[in-house]
């Protein structure tokens, strides 16, 4: 994910920018750049790939004396990772860096092109700098031009702009993407999270959505839609590790909360009106494909299993899912008309990689769905769709699962369109639900507090069953896996309709059942399954939009207009439940015993 650093002051600026960007490396990026104005002169450097490449390019550049500087690490979204698309973006006299998405950039771009502006990149960001210069040329003062620019931007952004027309100033604006300002005497720093400025700034102000302004003469002027405002600085943490967690207790918690935002990144550029577009794929790649086989491990296997329902239901294509370590040794029969999909957060899981190699040897077309570009699985696959979740640090996977599931959902629609198996009405409903997914993933305080309170009931007992039907069965498997990974309590995911064929023998008041009871997917059927358990005195935690009298505990969901919205909202609830139980038990949430984030052994 992209990162921003900025500085106004007397210190050597290149080092401040490169050091700061280095601290943001963990977020993932594929190009980087810096721009400095000193003695009214602009300098700019960009490089594709790692920061070392940028450091090499700036080897002979030093900037001592007063100046302003901005830097950026870019994770490609609109346009490929090239130098032209890397930030900072140049107008005639100004540079801009930006995180987020300018949703109305095409409209703004057309307007600017109509007035003679030439664009050199494929990014949405470049619009900001041209819009600023467009207004500035209409005799507006630089800040007035910036204010007018910000007013026209729609979407999420954190942006910094510098210009030769006001060479001692950084203009800033924030809406939906994080940004903060650091202070140390006369030095002013900007960054998209606090790690780049720890050890440099003493105090900090975390900008709120809708705030903008400028930094000059050792201070900032801050505005929002109601005009100029005052603000209170706070002391800056000195602990980098804590800072990377952005105030959350654990990386896993942070990553659960991030899901709503990263999901927008996963979808960005891929939902095109009433259609799905993957620049990574072409329809020719799918010609001749008449079935799908998916291989994965762990959490990735669960997203695969959920998608098999979607591929068959929406794209009417047979889809079989296999655990990679089982697939490798079963002497599988492979058909050249089968599309072989691997799913992996890390792209390095040994069993998944070997399964992929086997399929390739058998002549199958391969597609990977992965979070890490250039990983072994990505390099080995014919095609890849990146999930864009940003780096996941918690060993127990959360946002990687959510984004994998989203990509697979989009892919099932993409194939349904290709195979002409979806009506316009259904398509509109699916796309509409996708667009609303970030909302269903938002965690509110009330929900988190409620789960925290009820989690105290679930710290012992002789086991958990997570039950669901259809796509909620893989979600039940994933909910149980999350819980056992970080709480070390025994938990199983089970198809609700299958409980009566064995597991119901375990039912008593010490058996905890987490029942996923969506309104839009076989509600009456799962209700009967849960009633059977309740009749045998099992303790029931029901998660549903519909009140359920027999539940011992009940968490009411809100987004019940589409099964996938129910899926994602319930997913968040099961993640927080696992988190809160693990915290109460005093476990190391981010590094659970015996587990590794990337399993590169068989």
Single residue of 136, 352, 403, 437 touching ligand G6P by CB under 6 A: 352
* Alpha helices, H only, 441-514: 445-454, 472-487
Nearer to ligand G6P, 163 or 259 (CB): 259
Closest C-alpha among 3, 23, 55 to residue 196: 23
| 391 binds ligand G6P per the rule CB under 6 A | no
* Cβ 301 to ligand G6P shortest distance, Å: 7
The alpha carbon of 340 is separated from its chain's Cα centroid by a whole number of angstroms, namely 25
Nearer to ligand G6P, 435 or 595 (CB): 595
Rounded Cα gap, residues 110 and 131, in angstroms? 11
* Cβ 294 to ligand G6P shortest distance, Å: 12
Tokens 């005093």 -> residue: 586
| 299 binds ligand G6P per the rule CB under 6 A | yes
Rounded Cα gap, residues 358 and 455, in angstroms? 44
Closest C-alpha among 193, 274, 268, 273 to residue 236: 193
| 384 binds ligand G6P per the rule CB under 6 A | no
Single residue of 159, 192, 260, 397 touching ligand G6P by CB under 6 A: 397
Catalytic residue among 2, 295, 297, 370: 2
Nearer to ligand G6P, 352 or 437 (CB): 352
471, 563 contact by CB (below 8 A): yes
Catalytic residue among 202, 233, 393, 597: 597
| Span of 44-52, 125-133, 234-242, 342-350 interacting with ligand G6P by CB under 6 A | 342-350
Integer angstrom CA distances of residue 361 from 370, 376, 445 = 21, 16, 51
* Cβ 399 to ligand G6P shortest distance, Å: 12
Nearer to ligand G6P, 73 or 375 (CB): 375
Residues 556-595 close enough to bind ligand G6P by CB under 6 A:
595
Nearer to ligand G6P, 338 or 349 (CB): 349
Nearer to ligand G6P, 85 or 346 (CB): 346
* Cβ 434 to ligand G6P shortest distance, Å: 22
* Cβ 387 to ligand G6P shortest distance, Å: 10
The residues with which 294 forms a beta bridge, in sequence order, are 321, 341
| 349 binds ligand G6P per the rule CB under 6 A | yes
Nearer to ligand G6P, 281 or 395 (CB): 395
| 345 binds ligand G6P per the rule CB under 6 A | yes
579, 252 contact by CB (below 8 A): yes
* Alpha helices, H only, 43-101: 51-57
Nearer to ligand G6P, 47 or 353 (CB): 353
What would the x/- binding string for ligand G6P be over residues 488 to 507, using CB under 6 A? --------------------
Rounded Cα gap, residues 132 and 129, in angstroms? 5
| 297 binds ligand G6P per the rule CB under 6 A | yes
Rounded Cα gap, residues 320 and 330, in angstroms? 14
| 346 binds ligand G6P per the rule CB under 6 A | yes
Rounded Cα gap, residues 127 and 265, in angstroms? 19
φ/ψ (deg, to 5) at 203: -125, 160
% helix, strand, coil for the chain, step of 5: 40, 25, 35
Rg (CA), the chain: 26
Residues 232-261 close enough to bind ligand G6P by CB under 6 A:
none
Q: Which residue is nearest to ligand G6P (CB)?
A: 298
The first and second tokens of residue 68, run together, are 């302003």
Single residue of 181, 317, 395, 408 touching ligand G6P by CB under 6 A: 395
The alpha carbon of 158 is separated from its chain's Cα centroid by a whole number of angstroms, namely 16
Active site residue 109: no
Rounded Cα gap, residues 169 and 67, in angstroms? 9
Residues 130-159 close enough to bind ligand G6P by CB under 6 A:
none
Rounded Cα gap, residues 400 and 302, in angstroms? 11
Rounded Cα gap, residues 352 and 394, in angstroms? 21
Rounded Cα gap, residues 325 and 308, in angstroms? 19
* Cβ 597 to ligand G6P shortest distance, Å: 6
Q: How many chain residues interact with ligand G6P (CB under 6 A)?
A: 15
| Span of 101-109, 222-230, 292-300, 516-524 interacting with ligand G6P by CB under 6 A | 292-300
| Span of 38-46, 293-301, 413-421, 493-501 interacting with ligand G6P by CB under 6 A | 293-301
Instruction: Please state, as a whole number, how many other Cβ atoms lie within 10 Å of the Cβ of residue 435.
Output: 12
Active site residue 297: no
* Cβ 401 to ligand G6P shortest distance, Å: 8
Which residues here bind ligand G6P, judged by CB under 6 A?
297-300, 344-346, 349, 352, 395, 397, 595, 597-599
Active-site residues, by number, are: 2, 597
């Amino acid at each position: 994910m992209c990162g921003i650093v900025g500085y106004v002051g007397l210190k050597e600026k290149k080092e401040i920018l490169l050091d700061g960007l280095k601290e943001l490396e963990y977020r993932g990026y594929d190009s980087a750049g810096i721009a400095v104005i000193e003695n009214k002169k602009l300098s700019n450097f960009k490089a594709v790939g790692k920061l070392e490449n940028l450091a090499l390019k700036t080897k002979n550049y030093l900037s001592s004396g007063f100046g302003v500087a901005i830097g950026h690490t870019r994770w490609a979204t609109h346009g490929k990772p090239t130098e032209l698309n890397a930030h900072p973006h140049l107008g005639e006299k100004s540079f801009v860096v930006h995180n987020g998405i300018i949703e109305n950039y095409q409209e703004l771009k057309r307007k600017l092109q109509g007035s003679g502006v030439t664009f050199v990149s494929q990014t949405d960001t470049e619009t900001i700098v041209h819009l600023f210069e467009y207004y500035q040329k209409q005799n507006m003062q630089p800040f007035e031009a910036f204010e007018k620019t910000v007013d026209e931007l729609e979407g999420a952004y954190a942006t910094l702009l510098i210009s030769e027309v006001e060479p001692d100033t950084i203009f800033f604006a924030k809406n939906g993407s994080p940004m903060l300002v650091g202070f140390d005497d006369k030095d002013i720093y900007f960054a998209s999270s606090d790690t780049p400025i720890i050890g440099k700034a003493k105090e900090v102000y975390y900008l709120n959505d809708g705030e903008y302004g400028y930094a000059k003469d050792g201070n900032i002027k801050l505005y929002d839609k109601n005009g100029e405002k005052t603000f209170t600085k706070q002391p800056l943490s000195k602990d980098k590790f804590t800072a990377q967690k952005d105030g959350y207790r654990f990386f896993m918690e942070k990553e659960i909360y991030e899901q709503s935002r990263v999901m927008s990144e996963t979808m960005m550029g891929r939902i095109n009106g009433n259609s799905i577009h993957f620049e990574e794929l072409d329809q020719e790649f799918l010609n001749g494909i008449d079935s799908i086989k998916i291989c994965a491990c762990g959490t990735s296997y669960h997203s695969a299993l959920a998608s098999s329902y979607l591929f068959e239901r929406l794209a009417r294509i047979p889809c079989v899912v296999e655990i990679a370590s089982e697939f490798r040794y079963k002497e599988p029969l492979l058909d050249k008309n089968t599309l072989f999909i691997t799913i992996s957060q890390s792209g390095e899981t040994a069993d998944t990689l070997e399964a992929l190699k086997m399929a390739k040897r058998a002549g199958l077309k391969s597609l990977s769905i992965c979070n890490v570009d250039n990983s072994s699985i990505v390099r080995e696959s014919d095609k890849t769709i990146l999930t864009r979740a940003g780096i996941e640090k918690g060993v127990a996977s959360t946002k990687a699962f959510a984004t994998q599931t989203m990509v697979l959902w989009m892919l099932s629609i993409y194939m349904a369109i290709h195979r002409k198996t979806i009506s316009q009405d259904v398509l509109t409903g699916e796309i509409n639900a996708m667009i609303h997914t970030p909302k269903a993933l938002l965690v509110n305080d009330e929900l988190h507090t409620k789960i925290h309170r009820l989690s105290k009931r679930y710290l012992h007992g002789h086991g958990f069953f997570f039950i669901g039907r259809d796509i909620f069965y893989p979600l039940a498997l994933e909910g149980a896996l999350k819980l056992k990974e970080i709480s070390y309590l025994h938990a199983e995911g089970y198809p609700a309709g299958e409980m009566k064929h064995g597991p119901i023998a375990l039912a008593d008041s010490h058996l905890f059942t987490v029942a996923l009871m969506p309104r839009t997917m076989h509600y009456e059927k799962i209700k009967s399954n849960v009633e059977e358990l309740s009749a045998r005195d099992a303790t029931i935690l029901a998660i549903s939009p519909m009140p359920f009298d027999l539940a011992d505990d009940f968490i009411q969901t809100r987004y019940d207009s589409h099964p996938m919205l129910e899926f994602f909202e319930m997913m968040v609830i099961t993640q927080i439940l696992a988190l809160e139980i693990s915290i109460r038990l005093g476990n190391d949430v981010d590094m659970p015993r015996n587990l590794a984030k990337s399993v590169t052994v068989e």
